[in-house]
Structure 1
Amino acid sequence: MGKRIGIGQLIRHGMIVFTAAVVLTGCGSAEPVGGSPSKASASPRAAATPTRDVVEADIVAALRQAGVDPAVGGTTAVHGGVKRPDMFDWLARLKTPEAEAARTTAGTELERLGWQRNPAGEGVVLRYRKGNWRLLSSVTGSDALPELQAGDSTLAFTATVLASEGGDADAS
């Protein structure tokens, strides 16, 4: 039987996975979603950037649509009751089959809510964008996180607003 870990450890591991995913998947690249300049005008970057509260509501709605109670997870984006205006994340430990199914169903709901999936994000980390926001979703199992019990995984959604062309974060 594996050792139990707390939500704090899960969040730390999630942030490590998120940071690695940003670097490995090129999440911050300026390449349009479609990968070609001809599709750039249709990209959500041209659309208005949603507020942080809208991003949070989208992720929560996607989790609920996937049958996951958002209360089973946690976030690192609220400190002392103050929400970070430039990010929202959600992370929980679930049984691996439940986590994988939830990520797929939540992704479909996110697309319905206007998030565009980046086809370059296939595999371990799925990438989405909406306005200046970028969202990564991942399922990480006990093979990558030995602190988890066999059969458990972390399901993570992390959204970050990128700086606008003027250099200011548009997170109002």
Structure 2
Amino acid sequence: MNALLKRIWIGLAATLIVSLAAVVMPDHIQVGDDGRIRLGAPAPTPSPSAAVSTPEATSPPLTRDAVDEVIRTAVGAAGLDPAQGRPTGAAGADSNRTGWMAVREKTAAQAEMNAICADLERQGWTLNPNGDRADASRSYKRGGWYLLVSTRGKAQTPSPTSALTDSQTYLTLTGLQLNLSDIPLPEITVRIG
């Protein structure tokens, strides 16, 4: 009985690890035809019919200042004044975090979020739909940066003194610089079943 329980726990732990990895780095999970799951960057296999790389693969790295300008442009395209919100990232061009936030009426926030997202796509940002909810948040990637556009209520309250009314929400753009390709992943093969 102990051996059976041990195998069940190992299987559950392996499933949890694979699930978390699939959420964080969906490009690094491969499932074989035989049911084996392989973690790690896929080995490069040149193919004569290889597709042209996506714009993200050839996007040059963006600077913090460039991302700040992208955010200001997208906010302005939604008909908002960037100065009426407030920055959410630490000052300094060497920072790998940036953002903007404003308190908005819930009735207008969804349309404003949609306009911001449309402008990000116009500027060449690639939609990264893993885990997004079209009515509450969308994420984009480009040049080593990820942008999350969100209309979330009181869960993201920045301080106890800035309470929202029932008709208000936060409209936020959060930028984070990540280079996941520099993180070495071990090659792990898991056989379930």
Q: TM-score, normalised by structure 2?
A: 0.61
- Answering whether residue 96 of structure 2 is matched by residue 86 of structure 1, we say yes
Structure with more contact order per residue of length (Cα contacts < 8 Å, sep ≥ 6): 1
- Distance in 1 (alpha carbons) for counterparts of 2:170 and 2:51: 34
| Structure 1 runs not aligned, ≥5 long | 1-22, 168-172
Which position in structure 2 is the counterpart of 1:138? 150
Which position in structure 1 is the counterpart of 2:47? none
- Answering whether residue 177 of structure 2 is matched by residue 150 of structure 1, we say no
Offset, 1:47: 1.8
- Distance in 1 (alpha carbons) for counterparts of 2:150 and 2:51: 26
Read off the aligned partner of 2:179 and give its amino acid letter: A
Q: How do 1:11-22 residues align onto structure 2 when only pairs under 5 Å count? A: none
Offset, 1:110: 0.6
Which position in structure 2 is the counterpart of 1:16? none
- Distance in 2 (alpha carbons) for counterparts of 1:142 and 1:75: 18
Q: How do 1:20-169 residues align onto structure 2 when only pairs under 5 Å count? A: 26=23, 28-29=24-25, 31=27, 41-79=53-91, 82-120=92-130, 121-123=132-134, 124-141=136-153, 147-163=163-179, 165-166=181-182
Q: Aligned-residue CA RMSD in angstroms?
A: 3.0
User: Which structure has the larger Rg over C-alpha atoms?
Assistant: 2
| Structure 2 runs not aligned, ≥5 long | 1-19, 29-41, 43-49, 184-193
Counting aligned pairs with the same residue, the percent is 27
**Structure 1 residues 40 and 59: CA distance shift in structure 2, 3 A:** farther
Question: More deviation in 104-113 or 91-100?
Answer: 91-100
CA contact (8 A) 1:137 1:156 kept: yes
**Structure 1 residues 164 and 46: CA distance shift in structure 2, 3 A:** farther
- Distance in 2 (alpha carbons) for counterparts of 1:143 and 1:53: 28
CA contact (8 A) 2:64 2:96 kept: yes
Tell me, what secondary structure is at the counterpart of 2:164?
coil
- Distance in 2 (alpha carbons) for counterparts of 1:87 and 1:73: 17
Q: TM-score, normalised by structure 1?
A: 0.67
How many residue pairs get aligned? The number is 137
